[in-house]
Every structure is written in C-alpha cells, then in structure tokens.
Amino acid sequence: MLGRSYESQNCSAARALEIVGERWSLMIIRHALFRGITRFGDFQRSLGVARNVLAARLDLFVEQGLMERQPSSENSAYHDYVLTDMGRELQPVIMALTHWGDRWAAPGDPPVVFRHEHCDGEVRQQTICGDCGQHLAIDEVKAHPTASSMSLA
C-alpha cells in the first residue's frame, strides 16, 4: 500500500531534513564540523547569528543528540558544544549538499573546497556497489522498499 500522506511516507531523508533542514542549523553544524567551533560566542561571532536564534538551535541540538554540552576545560563559567557521533556523521550530507550547490546553485567559483588533511588532495564523494565494487552512475542505483516500508521509494 502506498503512503497517502506525508506522515505515512516513511522516509529517512525527510526525517533527516526535519532535523537539519533549517538553514541556521546547517550553518552552525557546518562551522562545528569544519572549523571546530564549540563556544557560543565563537559561533555567534563567526556566523553573525542573533543570540536568541543561536541559543535555541544549540539547545535543540543537545536535546536531539547532535551535540553535547560540556563544561569548558579552560573556564568553568563557559560550556563547549561538542558534536556527538550523530552530529559528526552529518559531514557527508553537508559535503553532498555543498557539491551540488557549487555546481548548480552558486555563482562563480566554489567558496569552499574540501581537502584531505594529509596530502591536501581534493575530496570526492563516490557512489559504489558494496558487492561488485563498481563505481555507480545515477541511473544504476535503484531504491527498493523493505519490509518496514510503507512507501515504495
């Protein structure tokens, strides 16, 4: 049976988007991931986001499990907001969004390039088959519903 409403569309991508789809949320996590920012004041300064917006987002991230609030080692009056594994694993999502945006939605050269820390090579994301190891083109990937699915893709 096909889902008949948004609620019944059992879609992990949509669930993911509900958590990180808000634009400030994405920017905050991006700065935590790639700039290593952990302090409220550092997020605020580098993003120029309103303090109330930032506070609400960080509280939500802690509640959702994307970040942990830790006492700062340097000064106990401050907290660090540290990405959990759940938060860190958004990295491929943000890279994929960035690559697509660079190609299709951003004028001019890419503002940011992702590089391998050790050899400085440019980072790529590839879709491969876990069985035969082949690199897959877009048309070669099909979505299959599982037993727990209520929708077909």
Q: Which of 52, 76, 77, 142 binds a second copy (CB under 8 A)?
A: 142
Residues 32, 8: Cα–Cα separation, whole Å: 33
**Which of the ranges 6-14, 55-63, 70-78 carries the binding residues for a second copy, by CB under 8 A?**
6-14
Does 51 interact with a second copy (rule: CB under 8 A)?
Answer: no
**Which of the ranges 1-9, 54-62, 67-75 carries the binding residues for a second copy, by CB under 8 A?**
1-9
Nearest to 27, CA basis, from 109, 97, 85, 86: 97
Cβ proximity of 10 and 148 under 8 Å: yes
Q: What residues between 52 and 111 interact with a second copy by CB under 8 A?
A: 65, 86, 88-106, 108-111
Does 1 interact with a second copy (rule: CB under 8 A)?
Answer: no
29 Cβ contact list (under 8 Å, min separation 6) = 20, 61, 66, 83, 87, 90, 94
**Which of the ranges 54-62, 67-75, 131-139 carries the binding residues for a second copy, by CB under 8 A?**
131-139
